[in-house]
Amino acid sequence: MSRIGKEPIAITSGVTISVSNGNLVTVKGPKGELSQQVDPDMTVDIQEGVVELKRPTEQKRHKAMHGLYRSLIANMVEGVTNGYKKELELVGVGYRAGNTGNLLELTLGYSHPIYFYIPDELKLTTAMEKGSNPAVILEGIDKQLIGEIASKIRGFRKPEPYKGKGVRYKGEEIRRKAGKTAAS
């Protein structure tokens, strides 16, 4: 049995979960509403205070989907309850971040600034405090969307291993390499 898949999902207070025809799971909570299409083979069982997923057979495909959909539904419950937050920091001389609404403007050492539009489902804030690196903060209820957008922002200038310059996640450790040694 899948260790992740068989674990029940606790429904916190203020959250309602419904399953409509075609296995469309909808989760409503204080922060918003999310929905996910679950494979028709899986059975979503809602009882008082918990949601359980059941699979029909022990096939490898069913085992994989069992854990996947359980995690997706658990992330939706967490998202509409507490929300998710992802922070990126810009490390490098002259690197700046600013925003106008959901339009992010990054200066990352290229000959031109980079403009990137953040979807309306997410909340964008930028911080430029003296003594610390500029930061880009993404907040929202959809874990997958936040991760995807953060990855795209990081992809504009990935951290390089020699000086550590670039866009990195807050708290990310970059493996540093030694540079060239002088010939003697």
**For residue 2, pLDDT beyond 80:** no
**For residue 47, pLDDT beyond 90:** no
Evaluate whether residue 175 is within a structural domain: no
Structural domain containing residue 154: 84-169
Of 27, 49, 81, the position where a domain reaches its end is: 81
Q: Which residues of 77-146 form beta strands (DSSP E)?
A: 84-91, 96-100, 103-107, 114-117, 123-127, 135-140
Of 39, 60, 81, the position where a domain reaches its end is: 81
How far apart are the C-alpha atoms of 102 and 96, rounded to whole Å?
16
Within this chain, do residues 31 and 76 fall inside the same structural domain, yes or no?
yes
Flag whether the pTM goes above 0.95. no
Within this chain, do residues 20 and 92 fall inside the same structural domain, yes or no?
no
Q: How many domains does the chain have?
A: 2
Per-residue pLDDT, averaged over 10-23, amounts to 87
Q: What band does 79 get if pLDDT is binned at 50, 70 and 90?
A: very high
Give alpha helix (H) positions in the chain: 60-81, 143-155
Give pLDDT tens digits for 56-70. 888 899 988 998 999
Of 37, 59, 81, the position where a domain reaches its end is: 81
CATH of the domain at 50: 3.90.930.12
What is the DSSP code (8-state) at residue 142?
-
DSSP per-residue string spanning 3-16: TTTTSPEEPPTT-E
